[in-house]
Amino acid sequence: MPPRPDARPGAAAPARPRPRTPRARVARFTRAERWIHRTTAALMGACVVSAACLYLPQLAELVGRRALVATVHEWTGLLTPAPTLLGLASRAFRADLSRLNRFGPHDRRWLRSALRRDRSDGARPAGKFNAGQKLYAASLSGAVLVMAGTGLLMWFTGLAPLVWRTSATFVHDWLAPAVVLLLLGHIGMALGDPEARRGMRTGTVDRVWAAREHPLWRTDGDGEDTRAN
Amino acid sequence: MDRNTGAAEHPSADPDTADAGATERGADASGSPVGRRVILGMLGLGAAGMAAAPWLERRLDTVLAAAADKDPTGVTGLLPGAGGFRYYSVTSSVPHKDADSYRLTVSGLVDRPAGYRLADLRALPQHRIVRDVQCVTGWRVPHTSFEGVRLATLLEAAGVRPGAGAVRFTCFDGAYSESLTLEQARRDDVLVALRMRDEPLGHSHGGPVRLYVAPMYFYKSAKWLSGIEVTREVRPGYWEHRGYDVDAWVGTSNGRDDAPTA
């Protein structure tokens, strides 16, 4: 780790054996990544809420305005992948996507422990993202793509023969509750971990938290990444 | 499990050693691209679901119909394809009308414009039709009874003038409209419906009075009917301005091939 601007030589040095104080907080997400998360969450949220207003009879009766709600649903749904695609311009984001993609032996260990509800020390090794987060990211991405594809078939009725449209409706309708379950799980996990939320809100996390939850995460290297973007 | 990247994997027990030889992505620098496989797998599942949908849908219809019979909570009604009506309104709220406040006007190219109260409509000859209801968005409710006055009866009473070619319907939700050709409007399976499933038509089903056009997709059966206007030509209604077919025969319009309902 190269010297940092805040590690002024001499500031705290006399009392300490180490030359520098390790920072208490480590960078986890860049500004670009946090905005990708925020905009995706807003689009996804509007898409799910408008879907509920179209689909659930009680809400449909309360809200009405079917043409407007349908338009909101179509456009927010279509645009949900957009922040991710635009985000590919960010090096830090690309690096995190690459981390999410790769499964090492530690991820298999994490999954085995999670399935056995094993929370003992060292039972759940994880890099910057644990295996659960990786599976969540990949399955939600796949689901969003399937929802977008089937949604487009229903939206532009001239795209494909009718059988396709009926089948697309079927897949869209049944994948929707699965997506909602995934999102509820994601939000539930975040609600249970204030430091994880702080990481997404402010960009930094407590070093102790990082060492406990993501022991294999090379936070120093990330510090470089995040500053580069 | 794919181990082709195994050479680059490192023991997770000692991240510091591992990191020394890895890139700045640390423990996640290598390993199988499981994320990509999961995404591709989801796309494959989606495609497989599309292919299997016609068969799956038939099977599920049977299972869900059976489950719904034994379900006091009504939760199964929220599942896709569980049957039943869905509430669609194009406005934010719809006023409630009862026997006192409800009026149905008949106007346009007629000799005797008229206004009907609910009691007036009830006093006319009633006809009961039992058919499937088919929505253009796909849902279908089998064997649903509608009961009311034939539209032809009201048109005859008003005396349609020569030159008239169509009938336009307006609704007291303030926004919805529909149209039929005069020939379609005179069919004996087109009702001004007062009852559904042998009960007075409730508000959420378009009560107290709705149109019922048995052979067409259900968007033609305008809810909350308040006006019947005889016109020279068909004027496209609310959804028809938004791309739906004006001649909405079930099974031969809107690019769909559902079994005809009449």
| Structural domains in chain B (count) | 2
Taking residues B183-208, report their average pLDDT.
93
Residue B74 is part of which domain span? 34-78
Q: Are B48 and B154 part of one and the same domain?
A: no
Q: What are the residues whose beta carbons fall under 8 Å from the beta carbon of A112, sequence distance 6 or more?
A: A118
Interface of B with A in 139-198 (CB under 8 A): none
Answer for the pair A190, A196: CB distance below 8 angstroms, yes or no: yes
Query: Is residue B58 less than 8 Å (CB to CB) from chain A?
Result: no
Residues B54, B111, single domain; the answer is: no
State whether residue B27 sits within 8 Å of chain A by CB.
yes
- Among the partner-chain residues A103, A170, A175, the one whose CB lies closest to the CB of B57 is A170
Query: Quick check: B46 and A60 CB within 8 A?
Result: no
Who's near B138: CB < 8 A, 6+ residues apart? A166, A169
Q: Does B15 touch chain A (CB under 8 A)?
A: yes
* Better pLDDT: B70 or B54: B54
Over the stretch B134-184, which tens digit does the pLDDT of each residue have?
988 778 888 999 999 999 999 999 999 999 999 999 999 888 999 999 999
Q: What pLDDT score was predicted for residue B66?
A: 67
In a domain, B4, yes or no: no
Residue-wise pLDDT for A48-89, tens only, equals: 999 999 888 778 878 888 889 999 999 999 999 999 999 999
Cβ–Cβ of A127/B28 closer than 8 Å? Answer: yes
* Digit-coded pLDDT (tens) for B224-233: 999 999 999 9
CB distance B90–A98 less than 8 Å? no
Domain ranges of chain A: 27-228
Answer whether residue B112 shows pLDDT above 80. yes
Residues B206 and B122 occupy one common structural domain: yes
Which residues make Cβ contacts (< 8 Å) with residue B20, sequence separation at least 6?
none
Please check whether residues B181 and B60 belong to one and the same domain: no
The per-residue pLDDT for A131 is 94
The bridge status of strand B190-196 relative to strand B199-200 is antiparallel
**B229: part of which helix (H) or strand (E)?**
strand B225-231
Q: Does the global pTM surpass 0.80?
A: no
Per-residue CA distances from A210 to A187, A203, B34 (Å): 20, 13, 24
Residues B48 and B150 in one domain: no
> Which of A 5-24 lie inside 8 A of B, CB atoms?
none
pLDDT band at residue B73 under the 50/70/90 scheme: low
Q: Hey, CA dihedral for B120, B122, B126, B130, is it positive or negative?
A: positive
Residue B11 inside a domain? The answer is: no
Residue-level pLDDT at A183: 97
Least confidently predicted of A197-211, B24-38, B194-208: B24-38
> Are B224 and B110 contained in the same domain?
yes
The pLDDT value given to residue B78: 61
Residues of A in contact with B141 (CB under 8 A): none
Residue B136: what pLDDT? 85
Residue B217: which CATH number? 3.90.420.10
pLDDT score, position A3: 46
Preferred mutation among A53, A63, A103 to probe B, highest tally of B CBs within 10 A: A103
State whether B178 and B51 are in the same domain: no
- Is any Cβ of chain B less than 8 angstroms from the Cβ of A214? no
Residues of chain A with confidence (pLDDT) below 50 = 1-14, 16, 221-229
Note whether B54 and B179 are same-domain residues.
no
Report chain A residues whose CB lies below 8 A from the CB of B6: none
**What is the third-level CATH fold of A27-228?**
Fumarate Reductase Cytochrome B subunit (1.20.950)
Can you give the pLDDT at residue A150? Answer: 94
Same-domain check for residues B71 and B197? no
pLDDT band at B11 (very low <50, low <70, confident <90, very high): very low
What pLDDT shows up at residue A139? 97
Q: How confident is the model at residue B80 (pLDDT cuts 50, 70, 90)?
A: low
Is B170 exposed, middle or buried, given 0-12, 13-18 or 19+ CB atoms closer than 10 A? Answer: buried
C-alpha angle with apex A107: A106 to A108, nearest 5 degrees?
90
Distance from CA of A103 to the nearest CA of B (A): 5
B136 close to A166: Cβ distance less than 8 angstroms: no
